[in-house]
Structure 1
Amino acid sequence: MTLERLHPSLVHHLVNSLGWSELRPLQREAIGPVMDGCDALLLAPTAGGKTEAALFPVLSRMAAEDWSGLSIVYVCPLKALLNNLLPRLETYAGWLGRRVALWHGDVSEARRQAILRDPPDILLTTPESLESMLVSTRVDHAAWFASLRAVVVDEVHAFAGDDRGWHLLCVLERLTRLCGRPLQRLGLSATVGNPEELLGWFQGASDRPSAVVVPPAGGSVTADVQLDHVGSVRNAARVIAALHRGEKRLVFCDSKRLVEELGEALRALGVTVFLSHASLSADERRRSERAFAEARDCVIVSTSTLELGIDVGDLDRVIQINAPASVASFLQRLGRTGRRPGTARNCLLLALTPDDLLACAGLLLLWGRDYVEPVEAPPQPLHIIAQQILALALQEYRIGSGTWREWWNGLDLFGESAEQIADFLVTEGFLDVDGPFWFIGPEAEKRFGRRHFMELLAVFTAAPEFTVLHGRAELGKTDPSLLTASVDGPRLILLAGHTWRVTWVDWKRRRCFVEPYEGDGGRARWVAAGFGGLSFAVAQAMREVLLSADPPVRISRRAVAALADLREENRFTVDPDRTVVMRSDRDELRWWTWAGYRANATLLTTLGELADPSQRPDDLSVRLRSDLRPGDLAAVSERLVLPVVDEKALSGLKFSAALPRHLAIDTLARRLADLSGTAAVLDRPRRFIVG
């Protein structure tokens, strides 16, 4: 092993306690940059040893440079992932006589006070908990973070893809200012399409030396991937129940409702099944994950909660219902298998409908070409600026009206718009003014002040849900529409894979009480967040599948037959060299762009009066005005127009009330837009079939 720079005690335990004869490629390559104090992005597939690649050299730095006090913060996107990592990190730190502590929303107040009295060397936490420490009156944040030297961010690609990433960057800049020194930033990520750009984003305002660390390319990793078309949830359950008996199977679904429905269907077939999704109670999820880890012949059905590396034991199979959201997500899920010597990575994709089959085939076509989406932070996070200004006012009690921007060290986010947002916060009473200082104002107290400003610390909007209780045991949460809809007979809900009868609803406290129900018929529902829809890349790949491209996977006979039917049905909607404008039997003039939801939303507004004004965007086409002539599209302006945003959507943008209305609407419009995809559609020749 090339271990000369690692601490001798750590090397001793790697060899004698873990029995390692060598490090993995990423772990070897990371030693130099991390020990030299560089910021780094460490890239490897699931189970590629990223945690050790960061921790072994940074622990060695800690020992060599005699760091004391709270020196390293290790940030994860999920509390369950932190819980899972704690024993491993305690072992590694313990080899050098160092200590690790855990701090997140489920940690008791007594335990937090004990941690504050006797700080650990490494703290495992979330961005929201970091923010809560900064604003808490019970934490002397200047003293608490005074010794901080390095920050490790696990699953950094998951942060970068949404507003939690912007929030994390802002919090890291405030920590840097508190410490009075640059913090080494180490990001751990699955494979992404744009690692250099991701590292540049992760560094924020820092200009420290940096490195992307990727394991040297080795032999190709074999994967057994199959695609099948099953037609319904019940049929999917029958396939899962019949295949791979005696093995441990992890099934991914991309909605909580589908998790519940499939779980119920599997139980009806006598399968030992466990469920995991964010609306189940933490206790219920832990019970499922623990039982699954200890069992053999069983299935766990999950949303993406089990995608990010939480250990559920040694898996035999991964099964995916319909297409995951991205190729990157598929790679994460595929990587949950093949960890035992002599086993290969595997995944069986089960498509419920023909449209789902086409989406699966398109995504697998991209995967077969080694395509991975670039990770791009959401544009124009102006609402995060408003949140950060208010959080800083809580942290410092008062902030200078001319100096507040210094807390983010010149981060590009805090440009000209930040001044406009700050002025709005003052004008609208979110901030009070006393001479050259600003304080938290009455409007901020009114909107965000409940429960010690907890609403201000999370940057995502949670849908209103009712807590479901069986006696004193919390089962999880459900959408309130299930409790208000008209029903004949008992009101039945589906949760944790079982049907329950609602016995009483406490509307004031948002709680409902249930009892077991013999039989099925329960319903599951949760409101989906975000815009959704297919990406430009996946929609284009689906078009290629219809033009006869097959993904490099095993395809079942019924999937082959269904794809043949899809190609026949869509033979006029695709063309090898052009997009197609076609008049349908209902006299609709439809432009088949195969461009994805965001590009089509942008195209609709760019077309203006040439588009049918009554439609909503979809993934594959836009409806044109029925009297349009072929030459009319040639006049479309090259100046793209941002999509129109329904003002009702502002409720899904956290802190939109703390922004001038035009800035809030513009933020949403830029996030809905796909300007490059729309430009690509407009640049292509068009074929008109209008007879």
Structure 2
Amino acid sequence: MRDAQEWAVPVLVDADQDVIIAAATAAGKTEAAFLPILTHLLNHNDPPGSVLYISPLKALINDQWGRLSRLCEQLEIPVVGWHGDISSSKKHRFLKSSEGVLLITPESLEALFVNRGSSLAGVFQNLRYIVVDELHAFIGSERGKQLQSLMHRVELVAGRRLPRVGLSATLGDMRLAAEFLRPAGVDTVTVIESKNSNQTLQVQIRGYIQPPMSELRKTPIQSPDEDGDEDETENKATPDFAIADHLYKVLRGSNNLIFPNSRRQVEWYADQLRRRCEKDGAPNEFWPHHGSLSKDLREQAEHALKAGNQAASAICTTTLELGIDIGSIKTVVQIGPPPSVASLRQRLGRSGRRPGENAVLRAYCKESPLIDGSSLSDQLRQGLVQTIAMVRLLIRGWFEPPRAQGVHASTLVQQILSIIAQCGGASAADLWKSLIAEGAFSKVEKPDFVKLLRSLGEHELIVQDSSGLLLPGTVGERLINHYEFYSAFTSDEEFRLVCDGKALGSVPVSRPLTKDQRIIFGGRRWQVRDVDLQAKVIIVTAARGGAPPQFDGLGAMVHDTVREEMRAVLADTTPCQFIDRGAHDLLDEARKTFVSLGLGERYIIESGSKCYLISWLGDHANDALRLLLNHVGLSCDNSGLAIEIDASLSRTQAALEDVGRLDAGDLDSILANVENMLREKWDWALPESLLMKSFASISLDISTAIVFAQRQSLAKQNGVATP
């Protein structure tokens, strides 16, 4: 047995404690949890017990169903998947005889509470364990807060505390992970962290220069007419074509994962690489994979990777970052800066699984040419330096701790309505106790809770009868009965793509649609023939030419430690060993800029009528710093590394002194001019004060920004630099 599997047996087999099992991808976490869990079920089978396995993805449930079914077949322990693609007959069978392993998503579990609240006591009466797979995927999100609340509600229905088991390959801070798994009971969580990771990493980062915009404008990217030759109308000057050529050269003949930073680029690269196969008369080896594709198209890519009889590479989003079994992967490709070090670590866990194989990472960075007026972020080669910094942190074993301090009051609204639906009504005292005093929303104070209930009444989400019982209001009833209620987060409005009566998948549409418009989807090119706005359907036919659809990107907030490491990369004078000549030249340019501007000794640079503030803080603190500077009267913009300020050096320094005197808790004043605080699904129903607290807790790090301003003011008074 592997170390994590061996250590898990004594702590799990008696079903008497909470456990986190953290190990690399493919290190056998599922077996580490389920071998002792199934042993317990076999040893205590009068009456037969059950296990609630909660997963972030339907695809992961399908994958784990096959894996656990093989394990449980001879044990005569049933394994039941529960999501939208599972037949009603299989679900009813489990409800009648609730034994074995139930695999479910948070949304489907929410639907069980809302639709079958009165029968859940019987369903959960013999529940022995709650297992959460890919724990890191939940922490810090609305969905994670929903999961915390659902786990507590399961225990309330079962009438006892149940052992919670968290499985994850990527956890930056074990204590925070334990606090997430068992709020207010962190010291009772046993952490098992595998040490079996002797993987050797091979890395190359390649650097490319984007051509000037004037050169790009010479030839349009999109075909001007249906019959145009796509090879002539697409601009080959962009580095994307050079990257596609290099990928085709180095990846053919092996299984690989390619991660661009947007669904749009997934489609573009899948199309380009497939066309290169066609040009060489070779079978296609490149398959797109993202959440908007139909299940059939996603499974084509997964089957191609798993089959083993032909080389296959998937161009994908985070859909293949989690633990779906896709077999052995040779190389992981990252195009653009990784979303985070934790994400990069998770992705690399796919590579080098076989004994004696190295994990291989190829990263491709695109930078803009430097011209008069180039931004400071461009001059410091922000994307390349961030990628180098993230790889250096990865090698040192650091990755982002989960950001778990969010209030997520939006999700509290959903949980209030869900409990009212589950129980046929609830008192304010019951809601306070189950959701806040003993539940997942402990950061909400009683005055804010009272205001929240009043606001829900004003929005007709709830009403109160003569006995004081809270019931669904007119609006609440309608929303609870809609299938979108079960999700704690919002998603873009999506249109289904249909060709010859067959669904290709769905795509979020944020721009006007017109007939004859060309798009790329599923790695192929299509022409829009008709749009049914009522049914949200786009009818397409196969076509040549086209521009990729506009998907949202997958960027993530950069952590403070990553920015600190970026500063260290720029201050370093030694060559970076894992970058190519193009990246070396770009890094050399950036380091010379760093030295010439004196950024090792100062944080503020004056240029003409503007100042540039380089704090080396992460995005949560930088966003807060920009907001605070706006609050004290400065006009400024955040461009990643630098905050561009329309003021002189003396005015900027005075403003930082003003920021340093602000009270981080004075949100009414600090956020008074922020107009886009409605970020989460139910934010529209929150009272203003709770909305501000929730927004600040999720999106900003005001305290760190104020401390930074205080340090700058103190340094100015003492006449010293504060690097």
TM (norm. structure 2) is 0.85
- Asked if the contact 2:496/2:505 (under 8 Å) is kept, the reply is yes
State the shift of 1:591 in Å: 1.3
Match in the other structure for 2:354: 340
TM (norm. structure 1) is 0.89
AA at the equivalent of 2:340: S
Among 439, 445, 450, the residue aligned to 1:411: 439
Moved more, 273-282 or 428-437: 428-437
Distance 1:175 1:235 in 2: 53
Match in the other structure for 2:660: 637
Q: How does 1:28-39 map to 2 (within 5 A)?
A: 28-36=6-14, 37-39=16-18
Distance 1:237 1:646 in 2: 45
Match in the other structure for 2:473: 441
Is 1:599 the counterpart of 2:621 in the alignment? yes
Q: How does 1:125-524 map to 2 (within 5 A)?
A: 125-137=104-116, 140-204=119-183, 209-215=188-194, 217=195, 220-231=198-209, 232-270=239-277, 272-294=285-307, 295-353=309-367, 354-408=381-435, 410-411=438-439, 413-414=441-442, 415-416=445-446, 417-434=448-465, 435-446=467-478, 448-449=479-480, 452-484=481-513, 490-518=516-544, 520-524=545-549
AA at the equivalent of 2:464: V
1:580–1:208 CA distance, 2 compared to 1 (3 A): closer
State the shift of 1:405 in Å: 3.1
Distance 2:672 2:408 in 1: 16
Query: Residue 356 of structure 1: SS of its match in structure 2?
Result: helix
Query: Residue 482 of structure 2: SS of its match in structure 1?
Result: helix
Query: Residue 638 of structure 2: SS of its match in structure 1?
Result: coil
1:137–1:369 CA distance, 2 compared to 1 (3 A): closer
- Asked if the contact 1:74/1:122 (under 8 Å) is kept, the reply is yes
Distance 2:672 2:363 in 1: 35
- Asked if the contact 1:252/1:301 (under 8 Å) is kept, the reply is yes
Distance 2:152 2:414 in 1: 14
AA at the equivalent of 2:333: I
State the shift of 1:211 in Å: 0.6
Moved more, 379-388 or 498-507: 379-388
Query: Residue 616 of structure 1: SS of its match in structure 2?
Result: strand
Among 517, 526, 545, the residue aligned to 2:551: 526
Match in the other structure for 1:618: 639
Query: Equivalent pairs: percent with the same residue?
Result: 28
Moved more, 257-266 or 668-677: 668-677
State the shift of 1:521 in Å: 2.4
Moved more, 82-91 or 204-213: 204-213
1:265–1:612 CA distance, 2 compared to 1 (3 A): farther
Deviation track 1:174-193 (CA, whole Å, cap 9, x = no partner) reads 11011111111000112322
State the shift of 1:493 in Å: 1.0
Deviation track 1:633-678 (CA, whole Å, cap 9, x = no partner) reads 4454243556648766345311113211332233113322124542
Distance 2:690 2:575 in 1: 43
Deviation track 1:485-524 (CA, whole Å, cap 9, x = no partner) reads 7xxx931111111111000000111111100002x22222
Query: Residue 374 of structure 1: SS of its match in structure 2?
Result: coil
- Asked if the contact 2:149/2:440 (under 8 Å) is kept, the reply is no
Distance 1:655 1:616 in 2: 28
1:219–1:289 CA distance, 2 compared to 1 (3 A): closer
Match in the other structure for 1:537: 561
- Asked if the contact 1:595/1:619 (under 8 Å) is kept, the reply is no
State the shift of 1:68 in Å: 3.6
State the shift of 1:551 in Å: 8.9
- For these two proteins, the number of residue pairs brought into alignment is 655
Query: Residue 226 of structure 1: SS of its match in structure 2?
Result: strand
Distance 1:575 1:206 in 2: 44
1:151–1:52 CA distance, 2 compared to 1 (3 A): same
1:208–1:375 CA distance, 2 compared to 1 (3 A): closer
Among 608, 611, 615, the residue aligned to 1:589: 611
1:553–1:175 CA distance, 2 compared to 1 (3 A): farther
- Asked if the contact 1:176/1:182 (under 8 Å) is kept, the reply is yes
Unaligned runs of 5+ in 1: 1-22
1:230–1:120 CA distance, 2 compared to 1 (3 A): farther
State the shift of 1:162 in Å: 1.0
Unaligned runs of 5+ in 2: 210-238, 278-283, 368-380
AA at the equivalent of 2:265: L
- Asked if the contact 1:131/1:457 (under 8 Å) is kept, the reply is yes
RMSD over equivalenced CA pairs, Å: 2.6
State the shift of 1:443 in Å: 2.1
